[in-house]
Amino acid sequence: MKPWKTLSRRMVLNHSKWLVVEDHAVELPGGRVIPNWPWVTTPDYINVVVETVDGRFLCFRQTKYAIAGTTLAVVGGYLEPGEEPLTCAQRELREETGYVAPEWINLGSYWVDPNRGMATGNLFLARGAYRVCNRDADDLEEQEVLLLTRAEIESALAAGEFKVLAWQAAVALALLNLAKVTDLRKVGIQSKEGDMPEIKHLPRMYVAYVSEVGPFGDAVKRGFERLFAWIGANQVQPLGASLGIYYDDPAHVPAEKLRSELCVPVAPDVQGSGDVGVKAIGDCDVAALVYQGEANISRAYNEVYAWLRAQGYREAGAPIETYLSRPGEELRAEIAVPVVKVEKKIAAKKPKRAVKRSAKKTAKKKK
């Protein structure tokens, strides 16, 4: 199929950055020319469906100029010139709600009107959101912030309470995405005994971190409390799931001496302060296994170490755990052990030694 060709364009209305209307002359694939095809340009935008750390969905009840009565709404806003959609989504979430989120899922970008233009809507699902500051919204409409359960937002979607098509689509796509995660867990797409680790590259990333010494269970709780208090106070945006780096083996080091670092991915320009540092990690090959189950994951670690050694690798650094589950959920984490390939040395063959025979035996043989 061939696309249409734009032969010329004429400005009809230029209403600042909000609305531009043009007349286009277009040529269809068969050669027919339409001299006055209307084309409308409005700013590209984002919409974000927000799932909080406790599994509820943050949205608004508000008015809109074109809508009679009130409507439910998701977080939304226009992209600034040159701004990336994800950056805009993270900015709008913080401004409109005071929340930040460690996990962002891109639900896709879609045209508003495929023939007349209008704009592109960029839809996101933000998971694990938590509040770090007060709202700084500049919306003209009155808004009421709501925190809905999964059942309540599904009911609102089915009843058409999100009265804007893009909002309805964003919520539907977010719930579909979450349903797929749930279904995968139900059918056993999770790590269990018998699953095999894989060798993959862990990309370089920057993390804000705090150091802890003591039993790992206590250290995780204490360390993340300190870290997230600092993140909120300094208005730092997490860029991914939380991590833990564990430097000692509990089987060989006393519990009170176990060293760990609790981390959150951040932008490279973030500066640490107080007892929070910022450093680069990753950019290495790891043996990785996603584990789901009880909080004691020592068996999963044993499987990873036994497997990597059997495959000709050796560990090359402290293991890193990336936490994929939410507080209150069954533990789900990726274990990643930095590795290097062990080069097998091929022993050089020794030259055969010459066999010396006595002159007496040689003489007998000649007879």
pLDDT tens by residue, 79-119:
998 999 999 999 999 999 998 887 888 999 999 998 998 89
Give the burial class of 326: count Cβ atoms within 10 A of its Cβ; 0-12 exposed, 13-18 middle, 19 or more buried. Answer: middle
- pLDDT at res. 251: 83
Tell me what the mean pLDDT of segment 220-230 comes to. Answer: 92
**DSSP state, 273?**
B
The percent of residues in the chain predicted with pLDDT above 90, rounded, is: 57
**DSSP state, 29?**
T
- pLDDT at res. 187: 40
pLDDT in tens, 238-279: 888 899 999 998 888 999 999 999 999 998 999 999 999 999
- Range among 21-35, 133-147, 321-335, 343-357 rated most confident: 21-35
Tell me what the mean pLDDT of segment 211-232 comes to. Answer: 92
Query: Sorting pLDDT into bands at 50, 70 and 90, what band is 356?
Result: very low
Output the CA angle 217-284-241, nearest 5 degrees: 45
**DSSP state, 133?**
S
- pLDDT at res. 290: 86
Cβ 307 vs Cβ 197: under 8 Å: yes
What sign results for the dihedral spanned by CA atoms 48, 228, 334, 181? negative
- pLDDT at res. 255: 92
Q: Which helix (H) or strand (E) holds 124?
A: strand 117-131
- pLDDT at res. 276: 96
Query: What's the Cα-to-Cα distance from 170 to each of 125, 131, 189, 263, rounded to whole Å?
Result: 8, 22, 26, 30
Reduced to 3 DSSP states, what percent helix, strand and coil does the chain have, rounded to the nearest 5? 25, 40, 35
Mean pLDDT of the chain: 85
Complete domains list, the chain, with CATH: 5-41 (no CATH), 45-186 (3.90.79.10), 198-341 (3.20.80.10)
- pLDDT at res. 85: 93
**Alpha-carbon span 70 to 120, nearest angstrom:** 25
pLDDT above 80: residue 360: no
- pLDDT at res. 104: 87
pTM here is 0.58
- pLDDT at res. 33: 95
Closest CA to 282 of 206, 180, 230: 206
pLDDT above 90: residue 292: no
Tell me what the mean pLDDT of segment 283-295 comes to. Answer: 83
